[in-house]
Amino acid sequence: MELFRIKKDIPFMRHALVFNIISLVTFLLAVFFLATRGLHLSVEFTGGTLVEVQYEQTADLEKVRAALGKAGYSDFAVQNFGSSRDVLIRMPLKNSEGQAAAEQGTARQGEQVMAALEAEAPGAQLRRVEFVGPQVGKELAENGAMALMLVIVGIMVYLAFRFEWRFSVSAIIANLHDVIIILGFFAFFQWEFSLSVLAAVLAVLGYSVNESVVVFDRVRETFKKVRGMNTPQVLDHAITSTISRTVITHGSTQIMVLSMLLFGGETLHYFSMALTIGICFGIYSSVLVASPLVMWLGVSREQFVKPPKAKDPNVTEDGACV
């Protein structure tokens, strides 16, 4: 069986502008939704209390809300979690004007909620309580940003060392815009952005850079081996000859992610969701966005074939790019 029977190189580069405009529009939409709707951050980042309970039968959310309202809570969210029997209750941190005993108070919310439920909507079994104080949330957000920075810088340095600065710049641009698009989806649908989603986003960033690496590897090889092709042709050839591998690999990874989406339950739901979006846009951007960017940044054969030095002043003579 051979899925891809491609006779000639597909002229991807002819449509380079179209691909880039599509991705620019998606990108701008993502930024727009991020700016207007914002991310629905999980308790881990905002601080607050999260209580998950399970009922024997289908849970009556109205009753749960009434019970909490009676217990004196106002700003809470009650929703089903995974099944109709599981209920998730989210409560924000009490601000300083709230109770005097705010510190101990917030940490004890879990028990108070259980007591309130026991009185009004009995039969609840405690599954999980998470309480995160304000200082922890802030730190997590900061650390997340630091991790993202480190990934970007690390990958850029590595690609610049292995290939050339043009490749590293275009790979990072292409893949960063993936990150923004994933976030855009989370903002648009108001899916919960938690720590594990952040992990998924960063993992996908490292993963879809792979794609660019594979294509760039081919570009370099083709430049060295085949003469008489201009730059767009070389890129077309590189993409065409790797496309089968691209689709199969991403397909396999997606099978795994799909399996997590189907069997992983609610906890892994958004994690695999982020991965799915990341994988789909990762293929698109690292192949069809990164390659035109490389072209426009002016990649050419001279940068890879050694002897005629100093033709292009932009090229450094380090042996690393060979």
Partner 1 sequence: MNRYPLWKYITVAVALLIGFVYTLPNFFGEAPAVQVSSNRATLKVDAGVLPRVEAILQEAQVAPDGIFVESNGIKVRLKDTDTQLKAKDALEKAFNPDPANADYVVALNLLTASPKWLTDMGALPMYLGLDLRGGVHFLLQVDMPGAQQKRLDSIGADLRTLLRDKNLRHAGINRDGERILINFRDGQTRDQARIVIDKDLAELNLVEQGSGDNLRLVATLKPESLVKLREYAIKQNINTLHNRINELGVAEPVIAQQGADRIVVQLPGVQDTAKAKDILGRTATLEIRMVDETPGALEGALAGQVPFGTELYNERGGAPVLVKKQVVLTGERLTDAQAGFDSQNNEPAVHLTLDSAGARIFRDVTRDNVGKRMAILLIEKGKGEVVTAPVIRTEIGGGRVQISGRMTTSEANDTALLLRAGSLAAPMEIIEERTIGPSLGAESIKRGFDSTLWGFVAIAVFMIIYYQVFGMVSVVALASNLLLLVALLSLLQATLTLPGIAAIALTLGMAIDANVLINERVREELRNGMPPQAAITAGYERAFDTILDSNITTLIAGLALLIFGSGPVRGFAVVHCLGILTSIFSAVVISRSLVNLIYGRQKKLTKVSIGQVWKPEADTTK
84 interacts with partner 1 by CB under 8 A: no
Query: Closest CB to partner 1 among 33 and 45?
Result: 45
For the chain, list the strands marked E by DSSP. Answer: 40-41, 48-54, 77-81, 83-91, 125-132, 192-193
- Of the candidate residues 48, 110, 184, 282, the single one contacting partner 1 (CB under 8 A): 110
Phi, psi of 16 (to 5 degrees): -50, -45
Contact range with partner 1 by CB under 8 A, out of 25-33, 179-187, 226-234, 265-273: 265-273
For CA atoms 11, 17, 18, 22, the dihedral sign is: positive
CB of 319 to partner 1, least distance (A): 15
> By the 8 A CB rule, do 102 and 94 touch?
yes
258 interacts with partner 1 by CB under 8 A: yes
Contact range with partner 1 by CB under 8 A, out of 176-184, 185-193, 254-262, 289-297: 254-262
- Of the candidate residues 254, 297, 300, 301, the single one contacting partner 1 (CB under 8 A): 254
Q: From residue 151, how far is each of 160, 204, 227, 275 by CA, in Å?
A: 14, 11, 36, 17
209 interacts with partner 1 by CB under 8 A: yes
CB of 310 to partner 1, least distance (A): 27
Number of residues counted as binding partner 1 (CB under 8 A):
78
Sites for partner 1 among residues 231-250 (CB under 8 A): 241-242, 244-245, 248-249
Q: From residue 41, how far is each of 172, 183, 241, 295 by CA, in Å?
A: 25, 11, 41, 38
How far is the C-alpha of 231 from the C-alpha of 300, rounded, in Å? 6
Query: Closest CB to partner 1 among 12 and 131?
Result: 131
CB count within 10 Å of CB 123 equals 12
Q: Which two tokens stand for residue 133?
A: 């104080």
CB of 110 to partner 1, least distance (A): 6
Contact range with partner 1 by CB under 8 A, out of 16-24, 104-112, 116-124, 293-301: 104-112
SS3 131: strand
> By the 8 A CB rule, do 223 and 304 touch?
yes
> By the 8 A CB rule, do 281 and 146 touch?
no
How far is the C-alpha of 66 from the C-alpha of 60, rounded, in Å? 10
CB count within 10 Å of CB 242 equals 19
Query: Closest CB to partner 1 among 16 and 205?
Result: 205
126 interacts with partner 1 by CB under 8 A: yes
Sites for partner 1 among residues 16-45 (CB under 8 A): 44
Query: Closest CB to partner 1 among 31 and 260?
Result: 260
Sites for partner 1 among residues 175-204 (CB under 8 A): 195-196, 198-199, 202-203
- Of the candidate residues 29, 66, 147, 315, the single one contacting partner 1 (CB under 8 A): 147
Sites for partner 1 among residues 41-80 (CB under 8 A): 44, 52, 54
